[in-house]
Structure 1
Amino acid sequence: MAYFPMFIDLTDSDCLIIGGGQVAYRKVKVLLDFDARVTVISKEVSSKISEIAGKNNNLQIEERQFEDSDLKGRKLVVVATDDNDFNSFVSEKCNEANIPVNVVDDQEKCSFIFSSYVKEGDLVGAFSSSGKSPVLTQYLRDKEKEVLTPKLGKINELMGQWRAQVIDELPNEAERKEVFQSILKYSLDNDNLPTEEEIKVIIKERV
């Protein structure tokens, strides 16, 4: 089974995690890293999850038993319990409602899987082995950290700030590409990012 690599916007999306242990804790951190609104439902919740909830308003904890109605309106669902029958039940319910579901460590019950990723601002590099080798994807993630640095995150932010103006002033795609290539080269060759005036000069050379 091969999973299609796709990035989706989870900003302010209502996501549900069922389970409150160490695995649930890791998924909480991932979803919050992408600005989702996360609800954790479990009879017992780890102190690590509770600690995050005390600092992040995007995380809500409900220490109780799961109910079918908890699935309503969810963008995606993560099931992190050690009850296989329950996990199967929730997976089936999610599939019936067309809600993406991940059952931790049970690929057959998943309609999506988590990738190993590196994130600097909005710049993200991710790896997936289609659930076959998490160790390998973690290795690739760690190697990627050597390339995807905080500086690249800042460069990405800068390019995003100028993207609309460059598109507006340069209708030719090849010219736009040259502008961004010049900004990237300048940024990589120097300790600082180009100033506003320097970017305007780069654009003007191609107008």
Structure 2
Amino acid sequence: MAYELPVMLNCEGRLCLIIGGGKVAERKASALREAGARLRVISPLLKSARLAEWADDGSIEWKARAYREGDLNGAFLVHAATDAPDVNAKIAADADRLGILVNVASEGSSGSFTNPAVLRRGRLTVAIATSGAGPMASVTIKEQLEHQFGEEYEAYLDFLYRMRTAIKDEVELPEQRRRLLHKLYRLDILEEIRRGDNANAPWDPDRIKQWIEQNREE
């Protein structure tokens, strides 16, 4: 079996298309809005009230018509989410010819990418895919991971980001940077956050700088 390749796509400011106006299209649009994409929805009708709301407030661009050849020009990716499998197949074929990433809602294997179940904790993103075993399996695994990776991970990763950024800004020598980063990841900050001990996490800028100076030469 050939495994799918996991990737994280930067969609911010990029034109992403959704062909379809129902609940599936709404879910695709919601995820892309969170990713900062420039969204265009093509559908004669918007059956989703949320899509209609976003069209009204200008959050998405809506072309009120059926899909036609040429609609994919300039797109970064496209979701074929109509209720007509033959139209979705046409969109997939056009996207493939143009080298555009395409997801096909009615038949995932006919597209070039699928959407995993996603668990987010601030900077942490955990994607769960089951290679055709079914969305319910992904949902069950996601629920299990939600207990393992609690809300404390958001504060923890924010702390690591601030520390890593400060180390990169303050320390020029690569060997010193590596040593400090190794020490950083050994700090027991996650447990302190879980206990609600905010004396050490998150640290203020002065304490971060002091820690770097104390550990720079050790």
Same structural fold, with TM-score higher than 0.5 when normalized by the shorter chain = yes
The residue aligned with 1:191 is: 197
For residue 69 of structure 1, give the secondary structure of its aligned residue in structure 2: coil
Q: 5+ unaligned residues in a row in structure 2: which ranges?
A: none
Distance 1:187 1:199, change over 3 A: farther
| Offset of residue 64 of structure 1 | 1.1
Cα–Cα, structure 1 residues 53 and 205, in superposed 2: closer, same or farther, change >3 Å?
farther
- Whether 1:39 and 2:40 are equivalent positions in the alignment is yes
**Could you report, residue by residue, the CA deviation over 1:85-106 in whole angstroms, capped at 9, with x for unpaired residues?**
2111110110011101000030
Percent identity between matched residues is 26
Contact residue 167 and residue 176 of structure 1 kept, 8 A: no
CA contact (8 A) 1:79 1:87 kept: yes
- Which structure has the greater CA radius of gyration? 2
What is the root-mean-square deviation in Å for CA atoms of aligned residues? 2.1
Structure 2 residue aligned with 1:90: 91
> Aligned equivalents of 1:155 and 1:54: distance in 2?
38
Q: Which residue of 2 aligns with 1:171?
A: 174
Report 1:64-103 matches (<5 A). 64-103=65-104
Quick one: distance in 2 between partners of 1:159 and 1:107? 37
Q: 1:130 to 1:58 in 2, by over 3 A?
A: farther
Please tell me whether the aligned partners of residues 14 and 39 of structure 1 are also in contact (alpha carbons under 8 angstroms).
yes
Of 100-109 and 179-188, deviating more is: 179-188
Deviating more after overlay: 154-163 vs 68-77: 154-163
Tell me the alpha carbon deviations over residues 140-182 of structure 1, each in whole angstroms, 9 at most, x when there is no partner: 1122222333331233233223323213426332431212432
The CA deviation at 1:189 is 4.7
Number of equivalenced pairs: 206
Of the three residues 42, 49, 52, the one matched with 2:51 is 49
Alignment check: 8 A CA contact 2:85 2:106 kept = no
Matched position secondary structure for 2:141: helix
Deviations 1:79-125 (A, max 9, x none): 01121221111101100111010000302311000000011333211
2:159 and 2:56 map into 1 onto residues whose CA distance is 33
CA–CA distance in 1 between the matches of 2:10 and 2:41?
20
Contact 1:183 1:199 (C-alpha < 8 Å) held by counterparts: no
Residues 39-48 or 60-69, more deviating? 60-69
In 2: Cα distance, 1:147 partner to 1:53 partner: 38
Q: Tell me, what secondary structure is at the counterpart of 2:99? A: coil
Residue 211 of structure 2 aligns with which residue?
A: 202
